[in-house]
Amino acid sequence: MKVLGIVASHRRQGNSEVFVKEALMGAEEAGAQADIIRLTNFYIEPCTGCGRCQSGRIPCHIQDDFYRVLERMNASDGIILGMPCYFHNAPGAFKLFIDRTIAVGYPNPLHGKPATVIVSYGNRGFTSYAFSQPNLLLHKFGMNIIDQALIQAGAPGDALINDKALGRVHSMGKAVAAAAKTGDMTFKGEKGLCPVCHDRVLRVLKDMESVECPTCCIHGKLRIVDGKIDVVFTEADINKGRFSEEQWYRHHMYHVEPGREYFQATKELRKERRGKYSAYFPKEEKGIVVKPVAQEA
Ligand SMILES: Cc1cc2nc3c(=O)[nH]c(=O)nc-3n(C[C@H](O)[C@H](O)[C@H](O)COP(=O)(O)O)c2cc1C
Report the percent of the chain where pLDDT is more than 70: 95
**Cα of 199 from ligand 1 centre, angstroms:** 19
Amino acid at 254: Y
196-205 in b/e form (b: 16+ CB < 10 A) is bbbbebbeee
Best residue among 10, 20, 22, 85 to mutate for probing ligand 1's pocket (most ligand atoms within 8 Å of CB) is 85
Spatial separation of the C-alpha atoms in residues 278 and 256, rounded to whole Å: 27
Q: Is 52 helix (H, G, I), strand (E, B) or coil?
A: coil
Cα end-to-end distance, the chain, whole Å = 74
Go through the domains of the chain in sequence order and give each one's CATH number: 2-182 (3.40.50.360)
Nearest-10 crossing angle of helices 66-74, 92-100: 80
**Cα of 165 from ligand 1 centre, angstroms:** 17
Spatial separation of the C-alpha atoms in residues 1 and 157, rounded to whole Å: 30
The continuous run of DSSP H or E covering 219 comes out as: strand 219-225
Which amino acids bring their CB within 6 angstroms of ligand 1?
9, 11, 14-16, 84-88, 120-123, 126-127, 153-154, 156
pLDDT in tens, 125-142: 999 999 999 999 999 999
pLDDT, tens digit only, all 297 positions of the chain = 999 999 999 999 999 999 999 999 999 999 999 999 999 999 999 999 998 887 657 899 999 999 999 999 999 999 999 999 999 999 999 999 999 999 998 888 999 999 999 999 999 999 999 999 999 999 999 999 999 999 999 999 999 999 999 999 999 999 999 999 999 999 999 989 999 999 999 999 999 999 999 999 999 999 999 999 999 999 999 999 998 888 888 888 888 888 888 989 999 999 999 999 988 888 777 666 666 666 555
